Every structure is written in structure tokens, then in C-alpha cells.
Structure 1
Amino acid sequence: MKILGIIPARHGSSRFPAKALADIGGKTMVRRVYEQALKAAKLTDVVVATDHDDIYNEIIKHGGKAVMTRQDHESGTDRCFEALKKQDLQYDYVINIQGDEPFIDPEQINLIAEMLDGQTELGTLIKLIDTKEDLFNPNVVKVIFDINQKAIYFSRSPLPHNRQYPTDEWLKHHAYFRHIGIYAYRTDILEEITKLNVSSLEKSESLEQLRWIENGYSIKVAETEHDSIGIDTPEDLDKLQPFLK
């Protein structure tokens, strides 16, 4: 099974312009993500997909692989597909590794790779929610799934709504899971989903993966014990101090 890890890294960001080049303990964010991804033994290769010369050159000058992509992509999924088309080798799967998680655990990448058996269309990771703050935080995406570990729905609201108990007791009576934003796509499926129109559920929740579910694609989930820390604003860099120590 040939698996390509792609790190989408665009330059523009309304909340944190050029965050891919932010300095984190003497290395840029995108370089740290790339180096972490290289440690994932299940990946055949790793490439950064960017829309800016500075990010491209940052990876190339340190011996890495990068490819230039268009600036007008609406999602990392679309950028991954363009990057895939520019590869010389043929791959069975692509894993979309978030470019704003500089300390992503390579075992998370290996875990999602282990579910890729040729039948799996799409894959992602989930983690048990253990705080009320996360459960009711709309920025923490929740997911419910069936007995075959396939996602039923993703939402910014707590799922399920446990009407039998007060909200303070929900975590005591049900296991709730958050979505970890790393995706695996079978390469033929990746091409198909980039041609889909924005769906009604996606508009409501502002979650791209609902477009895939609404169009009949299946997303397999695997549970990880490792957390992920994404950087959305300059202030979020403070979260990384424990990792740097």
C-alpha cells in the first residue's frame, strides 16, 4: 500500500497570516510538521503543498519535498488533490496532515494509515472527550459513529443529546468523542469528492466532511489517545511551550 502524506500549507490566513512560517523554538511551523510526518513509518513519502514561494523554499532548503499549488483552493482537500496530480509516482491513499499542528504525534499518522485496506474510502481520527468545556465548545467538533466504526454525523453541538440527565452529568453516562482533523482519502475517492457541490449540512455546520457523508461516502474512524494542538492565532503559540521544554 503506497500512502502519500500531504501537508497543505497556504500563506494567507485572516487570523494568522503566514503562520506556516511562524518561528517555534528556532524552526518554522511547517518545517516542524514536515519533520514529524517523516517519522511516521507507514507513509511512503511526504510532501508540502503550498501556494507561496517562501513556504516552498523553506522546505526545499532543508532537504524536504514541496509542490506549488493554486492560491484559490477553498479547502485543504482540494489542495491535496492538486498536489497528488503533480506527483510522479502512483499512490493508493493520501493522508492530509494539518499544517498548523507542529507537534503532531507520528503514531497518529500511523494509526490512520493502519485502517487503509483498499476498501476504506475515507478515514479520520477521534478522541474521547473528558471535559464539559470541550463537550459544549462549538469549536470542538463532535462525532458519532456506528458499530462498524463508520461516522454517522459530525457536529459542533454535543452528540447525542442525552435528554435523561442534566448537562452536567452527560459525560458520566455516555462516551462522547471529538474529531481530530486528519484525513485519509483513497486516491480515486479524493478525485470524486473534489467535484462535489457544497451541501446543505456542510453549510449549516461549516464542516466539509458532512458534504461527503451527505453524498453517500463512508468515513471510517479510529480512536487515538494522543491529543492534537492546532494553531489558529498568534496567541495559540503559548500552548506549545510544554512541548518545547
Structure 2
Amino acid sequence: MKKAVIIPARYSSSRLPGKPLKDILGKPMIIRVCEAVDPKSADIIAVATDDVRIANVVEEHGYKAIMTRDDHICGTDRLHEAANKLKLNAEDIIINLQGDEPLMPNENLKQVSDLLEQNSDMAVSTLYEDISLTDGLDNPNAVKLVQALNDQVLYFSRANIPFDRDNSRTPSEMLKRHVGVYAYRKSALDAFVTYPESSLEALEKLEQLRFLENGHKIIAQKARVTIPIGVDTEEDLHNVIQLFKEQAL
């Protein structure tokens, strides 16, 4: 069984065009993301991109780039194409690290990978963080999840779940906010791309619901290390650069 970290990276971005190539203290962001992965924790580290400019930068810095189609509807489709080009087998584990997460702790990548490896009946693993009711309750950008007692995910939603019918929550109670770090069995990706967009996926705009609606099991665990901010906007980029400067001191 192999473990592969695949980093999807698109040049186009409505809020920050050319995002993967933005400079962070002398290196393009996509290279900072590659460097966040401990080579000892994965058999393969590869960037999946539809843009030759990104591919060239990745290869110039000694990392592997995989050219993928530019018409994928969702990131999971791009991940699957890259996994096929890497000739990964059904039992191999694929860790998805977004190309705008240069501060991702490697411990979290190892955690999500180990979680899937240790739970053979699960197709996908992911992580969550506790957030306050104030930050998450009515925020559709904070995707919530609920779990069974064995940590299997029952549902993901942008809505207020679990709903507090009798207003019995206390202010100190926390919600589980899903963070977009995944590990997949290659067999799960093979199945995912054969399914049409599911009804819940279309409503919530959450790809992971396609797995649940088609009977695949997802397990989640609280992230052992706090996940720093990613880069969606110019302001995020400025803040990430400041954090890198602080780390360098």
C-alpha cells in the first residue's frame, strides 16, 4: 500500500488570480505547500494542475507535477485523474492537501492518513475543529458535521446542526467545524467519479455528501494540531506572510 499526497492547484481564482504562484518570502506559495509535507510520511508528493506555469515552477523546484484536464467540475475529479496518472492501486491512500494551505502542519496530514489506514471499513477520513456557537451557528461558510459514537460521520451541513430544539445548549458548548483535509482510498475515488452529482451535494454545495448518499463511510477525528489560515484573498496572503516571518525569527 502506498501513501500519496496530491496537491490540487489551479491558476484561476476569482478572488486571487494566480494564487499558487504568489510569493511567500522568496518562494511561490505552491512550493511552500509542498515543503509543508514531510517526505518521510508519504511515498509520493505531487501537484495536480491544469496550468503549465504552475507545473513548470513545481518541477523547477524538484517536485513532481501532474498535468490534469481544465474542465473538471470539482476538485475530487482532478484528484482522481492525478491518482490514475500516478498508477495508484485500489488499496492505496491518497491525502488531499489544498494548494492554498502553506501552513498546514504535517502532523494533521499524518493523522488523517493513519485514521483511514486504521479503519479498514471506511472509504474516506477527514478532520474537524471545535468552534464556538457564535462563530459557527449561523455561518454557512463554517461547515458543521455530526458523528456516530464510533466517529463515523452522519452528515455535513452549512446549516445549524445538530439543531437545538429546546434551546438547551450552554454558551460554552462547541460545534464541530469540518476542515478540508481528506484521505481517500483509491477505490473510493474510482467509485466517486462514476456517480452523478447527488441531490444533497447540489443543495449544500458539498462534494463529500456524494460519498454519503451513495453509501460510503466517512470517519472524522478532531485535529491534533490547530490548522492555521489558508489563502483565499490578498488579505489572507498578507497574514500568511506575516506568520512565515514570525516562524523565521
TM-score clears 0.5: yes
Identity %: 42
Deviation at 1:41, TM superposition (A): 3.7
Q: CA deviation at 1:113?
A: 1.0
Deviation of 1:233 after TM superposition, in Å, equals 1.8
2:165 corresponds to which of 155, 163, 166: 163
Q: Take 1:238 and 1:157, find their aligned partners in 2: how far apart are those partners?
A: 30
Shifted more, 86-95 versus 106-115: the winner is 86-95
SS in 1 for 2:189: helix
| Structure 1 unaligned residues grouped into runs of 5+ | none
Q: CA RMSD in A?
A: 1.8
Deviation at residue 203 of structure 1 after TM alignment: 1.4
Residue 155 of structure 2 corresponds to 153
57 and 107 in structure 1: CA distance in 2 versus 1, 3 angstrom threshold: same
2:13 aligned with 1:53, yes or no?
no
How far apart in 2 are the matches of 1:230 and 1:199? 28
Given that 2:2 and 2:43 are in contact with CA atoms closer than 8 Å, whether structure 1 keeps it comes out as yes
Contact 2:133 2:174 survives alignment (8 Å): no
* 1:176 aligned counterpart, secondary structure: strand
2:39–2:45 CA contact under 8 A, matched in 1: no
Alignment partners' CA distance in 2, 1:208 and 1:46: 23
Post-superposition CA distance 1:150-198 (Å, at most 9, x none): 11111112211113327xx5542x4411001011111111111011111
Q: Which residue of 2 aligns with 1:244?
A: 245
For structure 1, which segment, 229-238 or 68-77, has the greater mean C-alpha deviation from structure 2 after superposition? Answer: 229-238
Aligned partners of 1:129 and 1:135 also within 8 Å: no
Q: In 1, Cα distance between the equivalents of 2:171 and 2:184?
A: 32
For 1:92-131, what aligned pairs fall within 5 Å after superposition?
A: 92-117=92-117, 118-130=120-132
Q: Is the alpha carbon distance of 1:40 and 1:128 closer, same or farther for their aligned partners in structure 2, counting shifts above 3 Å?
A: farther
SS in 1 for 2:94: strand
Deviation at 1:7, TM superposition (A): 0.2
What's 1:8 paired with?
8
Give the structure-2-normalised TM-score: 0.90
Which amino acid in 1 is paired with 2:62?
Answer: G
Distance 1:177 1:89, change over 3 A: closer
The 10-residue stretch of structure 1 (90-99 or 102-111) with the greater mean CA deviation from structure 2: 90-99
Q: Offset at 1:40?
A: 5.9
By how many angstroms is 1:119 displaced?
Answer: 3.3
Q: TM-score, normalised by structure 1?
A: 0.92
Contact kept in structure 1, 2:122 and 2:216, CA below 8 Å: no
| Residue in structure 1 matched with residue 32 of structure 2 by the alignment | 32
- CA separation in 1, counterparts of 2:171 and 2:57? 44
Given that 2:136 and 2:175 are in contact with CA atoms closer than 8 Å, whether structure 1 keeps it comes out as no
In structure 2, C-alpha distance between the alignment counterparts of 1:152 and 1:17, rounded to whole Å? 36
